[in-house]
């Protein structure tokens, strides 16, 4: 019953507007929600939803030029009218924030010990030894392995996970009972993410905290949170208890968000990707490939890829999956010679890819095309979309001159883009649209194999779903083979019919999705699979329209 | 560990030093006229001529001459002044102090001015004071230093009589008194560039993520500015400062002519006009080495401040 | 294809200072071109009956120690100094951009050699090196241009190389390689246009610096030689008469200052414009 739930934070009719060169932009429109004492509250949304902005308004961390209207009360204190001194008392010692990118949110010139005890220094007025002790004990609380030694470390000497934990420590160094976590694990590997989320759960228990988690990842949110709110384009679409919202969403956007998740897609369309090809020769064969960097002068040798072997069969969709540093991107780039092998070989249809020269090389590159993670960086910002797609057609004389313009239009149609976009520049279209342009450009080369290197990692989840659907449709229509590199295991499980798992340059195992995700006996694979955040059980096919 | 870093940086300097020496050597060889005659003088005896030839290896192939040149430099022998018949090194040392004092005074004026202007502009961002300072720092690079010196001399020395028009004076305080106008002149040339870059860095750092993070901890703004914004803004500007000191050398040449200060700038000009080639080239080499030393010190200071540079 | 493609929106927001800079600079360019029409006297005409006269309606900026009209000399001086700025700019720009592209794109030995050359060149203070070269080649504008060609390319190479390295950190070049485009084609058609803007922006500021250094040389007697009406030379001439005929040094310096300030504001405005476009 609602009386039993004390309200910690009350947000009422909050709107936030920013003045820009093109006129005022409303980032948050009339948003209202309550955060209850001691709960885990999640705010989920894609880019531009305003989820981050509205939470920063709680402690007024927005730039001065932002206009905030409405009411925000924390423990019955009105935040928007509070004077600055009182506000500073509460920041760090009542409400604390942790941020998405721990590298940029830590001062590179200060030790983490200093950055943790900074808060205490101004809230409590302690002396040097006491501050140091506080820093060390905080590091213990956030599970550092060697607090006394690491308290004097600088941020650049720590891993992403450790930096994030240091930030959490800084947030908890004083007496904050409310934590706002803005995408705390988005920049981290999935296994590290699991550790951090685990840490947050434990800390909430130990200290009786109230935690707001902001994320684009519905899986993370639903695993942790008691209640959630869904935001889109500055508006609050719906909110409620997690199970209710996810298992019986009321709004269309919520349904789309849920349905875009690979696991939802998987539950809905189970058998469309086809069985993996068992017979015949591999179109691409990686044989005992190793790629080492560095080793000159005093630079240590980096073994980016070590003794990796796997086959790509015609017609398969092979998912190459691993965390950062696994070497997955490095090895697929070597397939088209963007990286040089230090030993071993890669064969295309039985021929070593390094032996293609001149016209043969162009032919090879036409057959094996690569698409990259950041579409707007892969396109020349000075070219129009039409010029981008036209370029390979012209240079390689793929179609006669008088056919070029119509071929470009055909390709745009294939990737479901309106010809209106042809005169625009890459900067003026969305990320999803730009990625489709890159796909169109790749298709212009008439490939057999498409290597997709993290092509959806930089995109919102709904856009990702669209791109993946496009890719699989094209595969069916054109009989393509796809090599799909990603860190997202859910995507691999849903879209690929073969999986290659890599870790720190080595190949852990290969197999079908069922073998990898359900019956693997490798320790790392099982840890990886266990770390994937899931939607609540009971997600039935009816919700995944 | 710091020693190791210093040694490393010194080792990196060596190729550049060699390159500098090579360039100077090449320039020496472009000097018109017979070097033996120049060095030994018009009425030299055969023994003197022979001695000169041996000392500088002048009858040997060019590669060997280079070797002699390098060896001589390493021992501090930059050749002879053709006008005064004394070693170049000695001549340089005689003229060093006025220039050194001028540079010190200029730096002492420049740094506080630049920091204050940049900090004022950054904290009043987009308000009139900021616009004024920015306009000054942009237009400031176009101020012809020698002309400003003349204008200042005309107003403050000739008209108002507050400062001496030219010369260096006797004794430390008199020296300083004579160098007030010259150092202000030089400072006017540098402060705009430094202030502009420092302001840009400060503004960039003020929007930095870790500043938002510090603010979210309830840390006071003044502390944020000192410890977070300023220190991080300083790093790219240390490099710039090194470049500016190097630029100062060029500036002193001109200012010394305007105010008739007997420093190495004056020496350079008179040596060029007087065709005292070895002095010219010795000075060139000297300037280059000094610039490299300044850059080295800047690098070391940067390493002290920024832990990322120590690995 | 228009490499500069400035959007109309940016043009509307031009800061006032940029317009001021633009107007001043182009006014001086106009003056330089129209000098023969605008100047009331022949700049080299010596007049013994009008030595060291103060500014008056007859001689707007007074006369110098040889009776030459300063106003006319300032106008003709604009030709010399602007010529110096433009010519002195082109060769270093071309050399610098070229070397910077090669150095950034091909890395390896090319990069190492160019970087070494860069290190050595920056070790010498600019004016010192120019003076040394002028000492050996003899005074005059052509020596100055030679010195510039040898030395002034460095900032351009640095800027372009930096841009190329930035581009290399993205997948831009990987993408063009994967599409089978050759190195030369990629360099010219894709890399160069995307790297050249910072160099062009710097060029406007460099223009000011080249004129300042050139007139400093003139002041020191090493640059343009008398009787050429170069502003630096004129300022040097006037130094002897500082207490008696201040106008000889004052007006050429004022001209130098205004041209410099105008070009500097233009350069800064251009930089801002380019940033707006991003």
Domain residue spans of chain A: 7-94+177-259, 104-173, 312-337+361-531
Residues of B in contact with A88 (CB under 8 A): 218-220
| Torsional sign, CA A200, A201, A205, A211 | positive
CB atoms C5 and A382 under 8 Å? yes
Chains meeting C at 3+ CB pairs closer than 8 A? A, B
Residues of C in contact with B277 (CB under 8 A): 135-136
Q: Does C181 touch chain A (CB under 8 A)?
A: yes
Inter-CA distances, B35 with B38, B59, B82, Å: 5, 11, 10
CA A323 to chain centre: 12
| Out of B31, B135, B142, closest to residue C17 by CB | B135
Q: Which residue has the tokens 């960097």?
A: A293
End-to-end CA distance of chain A: 33
Residues of C in contact with B251 (CB under 8 A): 127
Q: Binning pLDDT at 50, 70 and 90, where does residue C7 land?
A: low
Q: How many CA atoms lie within 13 A of A472 on its CB side?
A: 19
Q: Tens digits of per-residue pLDDT, C203-224?
A: 988 999 999 999 999 998 888 8
Which residues contact residue A23 at a Cβ distance below 8 angstroms, ignoring those fewer than 6 apart? none
| Out of A336, A365, A382, closest to residue C194 by CB | A382
Q: What is the ipTM of this complex?
A: 0.82
Residues of A in contact with B218 (CB under 8 A): 87-93, 119, 122-123
Residues of A in contact with C9 (CB under 8 A): 21
Dist CA A436 CA C33 (whole Å): 53
pLDDT for A544? 43
Residues of A in contact with C185 (CB under 8 A): 395
Instruction: Tell me if B104 sits within 8 A of B149, measured CB to CB.
Output: no
**Section A482-495 average pLDDT:** 91
Dist CA A182 CA A213 (whole Å): 6
Q: Which residue has the tokens 């930030």?
A: A167
Q: 26-65 in C: which are within 8 Å (CB) of B?
A: none
Residue of C112, C115, C216 for testing the chain B interface, max B β-carbons within 10 Å = C216
Q: Which CATH number fits domain B88-310: 3.40.640.10, 4.10.320.10, 1.10.3720.10, 3.20.20.70?
A: 1.10.3720.10
Q: Which H or E run contains A137?
A: helix A128-141
- Over 80: is that where the pLDDT of A97 sits? yes
Share of chain C above pLDDT 70, in %: 94
Instruction: Tell me if A212 sits within 8 A of A228, measured CB to CB.
Output: no
Instruction: Tell me if A301 sits within 8 A of A292, measured CB to CB.
Output: yes
Say how many C-beta atoms besides its own lie within 10 A of residue A281's C-beta.
Answer: 11
- Over 50: is that where the pLDDT of A351 sits? yes
Distance in Å, alpha carbon of A382 to nearest chain C alpha carbon: 8
Q: Tens digits of per-residue pLDDT, A156-211?
A: 999 989 999 999 999 999 889 999 999 999 888 889 999 999 999 999 999 999 99
Q: 9-48 in C: which are within 8 Å (CB) of A?
A: 9, 13
Residue of C nearest to B17 (CA): C120
pLDDT for C141? 87
Dist CA A314 CA A312 (whole Å): 7
Residues of C in contact with A441 (CB under 8 A): 179
Residue of A377, A439, A445 for testing the chain C interface, max C β-carbons within 10 Å = A377
Q: Is A234 exposed, middle or buried (0-12, 13-18, 19+ CB in 10 A)?
A: buried
- Over 90: is that where the pLDDT of C238 sits? no
Which residues contact residue B57 at a Cβ distance below 8 angstroms, ignoring those fewer than 6 apart? B64, B65, B67, B68
Instruction: Tell me if A245 sits within 8 A of A238, measured CB to CB.
Output: yes
Instruction: Tell me if A167 sits within 8 A of A106, measured CB to CB.
Output: yes
Distance in Å, alpha carbon of A333 to nearest chain C alpha carbon: 9
- Does the predicted TM-score (pTM) go above 0.90? no
Q: Tens digits of per-residue pLDDT, C12-46?
A: 566 777 888 889 999 999 999 998 888 888 888 88
- DSSP code string of A417-472: --GGGGGS-GGGS-HHHHHHHHHHHHHHT--SEEEEESTTTTS-HHHHHHHHHHHH
CB atoms A92 and B209 under 8 Å? no
| Torsional sign, CA B97, B99, B100, B101 | positive
Tokens coding C81: 């100094």
Q: Binning pLDDT at 50, 70 and 90, where does residue A545 land?
A: very low
Residue of C8, C175, C185, C195 for testing the chain A interface, max A β-carbons within 10 Å = C175
Q: Binning pLDDT at 50, 70 and 90, where does residue C1 land?
A: very low
* Total length of chain B: 311
Distance in Å, alpha carbon of A355 to nearest chain C alpha carbon: 15
**Section A422-442 average pLDDT:** 94
Tokens coding B283: 């000075």
Inter-CA distances, C223 with A303, A483, C214, Å: 58, 65, 6
Inter-CA distances, B189 with A313, B148, C17, C103, C144, Å: 69, 9, 21, 32, 22
| Out of A101, A108, A118, closest to residue B217 by CB | A118
- Over 90: is that where the pLDDT of A54 sits? yes
Determine the 3-state secondary structure of A536 from DSSP: coil
CB atoms B216 and A59 under 8 Å? yes
- Over 60: is that where the pLDDT of A271 sits? no
Tokens coding B166: 């030219």
pLDDT for A231? 95
Distance in Å, alpha carbon of A56 to nearest chain B alpha carbon: 9
CB atoms C171 and A362 under 8 Å? no
Share of chain A above pLDDT 70, in %: 96
pLDDT for A334? 94
Dist CA A56 CA A217 (whole Å): 19
Q: State the Rg of chain B over Cα.
A: 24
| Out of A365, A369, A372, closest to residue C174 by CB | A372
Determine the 3-state secondary structure of A163 from DSSP: helix
Dist CA B113 CA A116 (whole Å): 35
* Total length of chain A: 545
pLDDT for A540? 53
b/e map A43-74, b = 16+ CB within 10 Å: bbbbeebbbbbbbbbbbbbbeeebebebebbb
pLDDT for C13? 60
Nearest to C246 by CA among C72, C96, C55, C117: C55
CB atoms C124 and B20 under 8 Å? yes
Instruction: Tell me if B22 sits within 8 A of B16, measured CB to CB.
Output: no
Q: Binning pLDDT at 50, 70 and 90, where does residue C3 land?
A: very low
- Over 50: is that where the pLDDT of C268 sits? yes
Residue of C nearest to A396 (CA): C180
Q: Binning pLDDT at 50, 70 and 90, where does residue C178 land?
A: very high
Q: Which H or E run contains B181?
A: helix B172-206
Residues of C in contact with A378 (CB under 8 A): 170-172, 174-175
Q: 206-245 in B: which are within 8 Å (CB) of A?
A: 208-210, 212-220, 223, 227-228, 231-232
Tokens coding C162: 């930096």
Cα angle A299, A302, A305 (rounded to 5 degrees) comes to 160
Q: Tens digits of per-residue pLDDT, A497-519?
A: 899 999 999 999 999 988 998 88
Which residues contact residue B120 at a Cβ distance below 8 angstroms, ignoring those fewer than 6 apart? B129, B130, B133
Q: Binning pLDDT at 50, 70 and 90, where does residue A22 land?
A: confident
Residue of C nearest to A453 (CA): C171
Q: Which residue has the tokens 């519905």?
A: A218
Instruction: Tell me if B177 sits within 8 A of B189, measured CB to CB.
Output: no
| Torsional sign, CA A135, A136, A137, A138 | positive
Tokens coding B302: 């940067």
- DSSP code string of A259-314: HHSHHHHHHH--SSS-PPP-SS-EEEEEEEEEEEE--STTPPPEEEEEEEEEEEET
Q: Which residues pair with A290 in a beta bridge?
A: A343
Residues of C in contact with B246 (CB under 8 A): 122, 125
Q: Which H or E run contains B53?
A: helix B46-56
Nearest to C161 by CA among C206, C139, C191: C191
Residues of A in contact with B212 (CB under 8 A): 61, 99, 105
Q: Tens digits of per-residue pLDDT, A277-301?
A: 777 888 999 999 999 987 766 677 8
Q: Does A65 touch chain C (CB under 8 A)?
A: no
Tokens coding A86: 């009182």
Residues of C in contact with A379 (CB under 8 A): 175
| Torsional sign, CA C45, C49, C52, C56 | negative
Dist CA A38 CA A56 (whole Å): 20
**Section A415-439 average pLDDT:** 93
Interface A-C: count of C-beta contacts within 8 A: 54
| Out of A365, A378, A392, closest to residue C171 by CB | A378
Q: Tens digits of per-residue pLDDT, C100-147?
A: 999 888 888 888 888 888 888 877 888 888 888 888 788 888 889 988
Q: What is the mean pLDDT of chain B?
A: 84
Q: Binning pLDDT at 50, 70 and 90, where does residue B39 land?
A: low
CB atoms B291 and C243 under 8 Å? no
CB atoms A377 and C178 under 8 Å? no
> Given strand A67-74, what is the order of strands in its sheet?
A23-36, A7-20, A67-74, A77-78
Q: Does C170 touch chain A (CB under 8 A)?
A: yes
Q: A7-94+177-259 maps to which CATH number?
A: 3.40.50.300
Highest mean pLDDT among A407-411, B24-28, B205-209, C8-12: A407-411
Domain borders along chain B are 2-74, 88-310
- Over 50: is that where the pLDDT of A1 sits? no
Question: Poorest-confidence range of A88-92, A214-218, B238-242?
Answer: B238-242
Q: Is the domain defined by C14-41+63-274 classed in CATH 1.10.3720.10?
A: yes
Residues of B in contact with A122 (CB under 8 A): 218-220, 223
Distance in Å, alpha carbon of C190 to nearest chain A alpha carbon: 7
Inter-CA distances, B170 with A438, B157, B175, B176, B254, Å: 75, 18, 6, 10, 22
Q: Binning pLDDT at 50, 70 and 90, where does residue A415 land?
A: very high
CB atoms C174 and A379 under 8 Å? no
Q: A312-337+361-531 maps to which CATH number?
A: 3.40.50.300
Q: What is the dihedral of CA B98, B100, B105, B108, to 10 degrees?
A: 180
Residue of A62, A84, A107 for testing the chain B interface, max B β-carbons within 10 Å = A107
Determine the 3-state secondary structure of A540 from DSSP: coil
């Amino acid at each position: 019953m609602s009386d039993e739930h004390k309200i910690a934070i009350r947000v009422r009719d909050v709107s936030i507007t920013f003045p820009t060169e093109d006129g005022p932009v409303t980032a948050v429109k009339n948003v209202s929600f309550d955060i209850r004492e001691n709960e885990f509250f999640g705010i989920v949304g894609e880019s531009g939803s305003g989820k981050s902005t509205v939470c920063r308004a709680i402690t007024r961390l927005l730039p001065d030029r932002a206009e905030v209207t409405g009411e925000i009360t924390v423990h019955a204190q009105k935040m928007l009218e509070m004077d600055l001194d009182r506000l500073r008392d509460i920041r760090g010692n009542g409400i604390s924030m942790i941020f998405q990118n721990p590298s940029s949110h830590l001062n590179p010139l200060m030790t983490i010990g200093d950055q943790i005890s900074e808060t205490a220094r101004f809230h409590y007025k302690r002396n040097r030894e006491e501050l140091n002790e506080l820093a060390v004990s905080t590091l213990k609380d956030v599970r550092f392995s060697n607090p006394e030694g690491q308290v004097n470390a600088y941020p650049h000497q720590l891993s992403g996970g450790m930096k994030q934990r240091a930030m959490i420590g800084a947030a908890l160094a004083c007496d904050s009972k409310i934590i706002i976590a803005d995408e705390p694990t988005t920049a981290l590997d999935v296994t590290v993410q699991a550790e951090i989320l685990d840490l947050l759960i434990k800390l909430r228990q130990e200290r009786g905290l109230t935690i707001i988690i902001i994320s684009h990842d519905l899986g993370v949110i639903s695993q942790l949170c008691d209640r959630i709110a869904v935001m889109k384009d500055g508006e609050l679409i719906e909110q409620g208890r997690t199970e209710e919202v996810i298992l019986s969403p009321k709004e269309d956007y919520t349904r789309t968000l849920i349905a875009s998740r690979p696991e939802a897609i998987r539950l809905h369309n189970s058998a469309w990707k086809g069985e993996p090809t068992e017979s015949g020769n591999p179109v691409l064969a990686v044989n005992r490939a190793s790629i080492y960097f560095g080793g000159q002068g005093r630079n240590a040798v980096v073994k980016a890829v070590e003794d990796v072997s796997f086959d790509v069969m015609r017609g398969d969709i092979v998912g190459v999956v691993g965390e950062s540093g696994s070497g997955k991107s490095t090895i697929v780039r070597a397939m088209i010679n963007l990286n040089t092998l230090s030993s071993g070989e890669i064969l295309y249809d039985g021929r070593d890819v390094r032996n293609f020269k001149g016209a043969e090389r162009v032919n090879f590159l036409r057959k094996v095309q690569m698409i990259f993670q950041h579409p707007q960086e892969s396109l020349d910002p000075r070219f129009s979309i039409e010029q981008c797609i036209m370029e390979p057609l012209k240079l390689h004389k793929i179609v006669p001159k008088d056919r070029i313009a119509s071929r470009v239009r055909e390709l745009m149609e294939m990737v479901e883009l309106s010809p209106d976009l042809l005169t625009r520049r890459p900067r003026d279209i969305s990320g999803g649209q730009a990625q489709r342009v890159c796909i169109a450009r790749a298709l212009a080369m008439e490939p057999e194999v498409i290597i997709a290197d993290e092509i959806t990692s930089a995109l919102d989840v709904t856009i990702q779903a669209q791109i993946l659907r496009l890719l699989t449709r094209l595969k069916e229509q054109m009989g393509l083979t796809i090599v799909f590199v990603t860190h997202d295991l859910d995507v691999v499980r849903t879209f690929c019919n073969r999986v290659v798992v890599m870790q720190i340059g080595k190949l852990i195992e290969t197999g079908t999705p069922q073998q990898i995700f359900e019956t693997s006996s490798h320790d790392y694979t099982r840890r990886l699979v266990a770390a994937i955040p899931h939607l609540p059980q009971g997600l039935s096919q009816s919700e995944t329209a | 560990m710091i020693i190791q870093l210093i040694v490393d940086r010194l080792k990196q300097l060596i190729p550049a030093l060699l390159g500098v020496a090579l360039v100077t050597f090449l320039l020496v060889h472009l000097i018109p006229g017979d070097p033996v005659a120049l060095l030994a003088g018009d009425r030299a005896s055969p023994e003197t001529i022979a001695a000169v030839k041996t000392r500088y290896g002048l009858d040997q192939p060019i590669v060997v001459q280079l070797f002699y040149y390098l060896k001589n430099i390493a021992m501090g022998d930059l050749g002879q002044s053709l006008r005064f018949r004394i070693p170049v090194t000695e001549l340089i040392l005689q003229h060093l102090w006025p220039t050194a004092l001028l540079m010190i005074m200029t730096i002492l004026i420049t740094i506080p001015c630049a920091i204050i202007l940049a900090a004022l502009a950054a904290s009043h961002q987009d308000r009139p004071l900021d616009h004024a300072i920015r306009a000054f720092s942009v237009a400031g690079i176009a101020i012809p230093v020698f002309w400003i010196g003349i204008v200042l001399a005309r107003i403050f020395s000739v008209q108002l009589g507050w400062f001496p028009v030219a010369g260096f004076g006797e004794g430390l305080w008199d020296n300083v008194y004579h160098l007030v106008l010259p150092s202000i002149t030089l400072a006017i040339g540098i402060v705009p560039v430094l202030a502009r870059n420092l302001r840009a860095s400060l503004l960039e750092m003020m929007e930095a993520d870790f500043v938002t993070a510090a603010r979210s901890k309830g840390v006071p703004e003044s502390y944020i500015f000192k410890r977070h914004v300023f220190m991080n803004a300083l790093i790219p500007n240390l490099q710039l400062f090194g470049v500016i000191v190097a630029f100062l050398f060029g500036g002193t040449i001109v200012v010394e002519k305007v105010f008739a200060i007997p420093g190495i700038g004056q020496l350079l000009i008179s040596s060029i006009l007087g065709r005292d080639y070895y002095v010219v080239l010795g000075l060139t080499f000297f300037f280059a080495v000094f610039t490299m030393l300044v850059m080295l010190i800047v690098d070391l200071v940067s390493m002290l401040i920024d832990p990322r540079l120590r690995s | 294809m228009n490499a500069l493609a400035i959007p109309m929106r940016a043009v509307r927001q031009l800061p006032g200072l940029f317009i001021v800079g633009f107007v001043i600079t182009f006014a001086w360019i106009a003056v330089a071109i129209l000098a023969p029409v605008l100047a009331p006297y022949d700049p080299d005409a010596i007049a013994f009956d009008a030595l060291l006269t103060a500014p008056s309606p007859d001689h707007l900026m007074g006369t110098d120690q040889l009776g030459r009209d300063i106003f006319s000399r300032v106008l003709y001086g604009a030709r010399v100094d602007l010529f110096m700025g433009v010519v002195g700019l082109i060769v270093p720009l071309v050399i610098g951009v070229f070397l910077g592209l090669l150095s950034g794109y091909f890395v390896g030995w090319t990069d190492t050699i160019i970087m070494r050359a860069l290190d050595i060149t920056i070790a010498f203070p600019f004016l010192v090196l120019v003076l040394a070269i002028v000492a050996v080649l003899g005074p005059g504008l052509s020596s100055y241009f030679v010195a510039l060609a040898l030395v002034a390319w460095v900032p351009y190479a640095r800027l372009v190389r930096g841009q190329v390295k930035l581009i290399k950190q993205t997948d831009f070049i990987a993408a063009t390689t994967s599409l089978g485009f050759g190195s030369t084609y990629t360099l010219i058609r894709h890399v160069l246009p995307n790297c050249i803007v910072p160099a062009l922006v710097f060029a406007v500021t460099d223009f000011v610096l080249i004129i300042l250094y050139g007139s400093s040389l003139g002041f020191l007697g090493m640059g343009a030689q008398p009787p050429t009406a170069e502003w630096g030379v004129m300022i040097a001439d006037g130094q002897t008469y500082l207490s008696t005929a201040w106008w000889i040094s004052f007006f050429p310096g004022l001209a130098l200052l205004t041209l410099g300030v105008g070009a500097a504001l233009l350069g800064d405005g251009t930089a801002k414009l380019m940033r707006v476009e991003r």
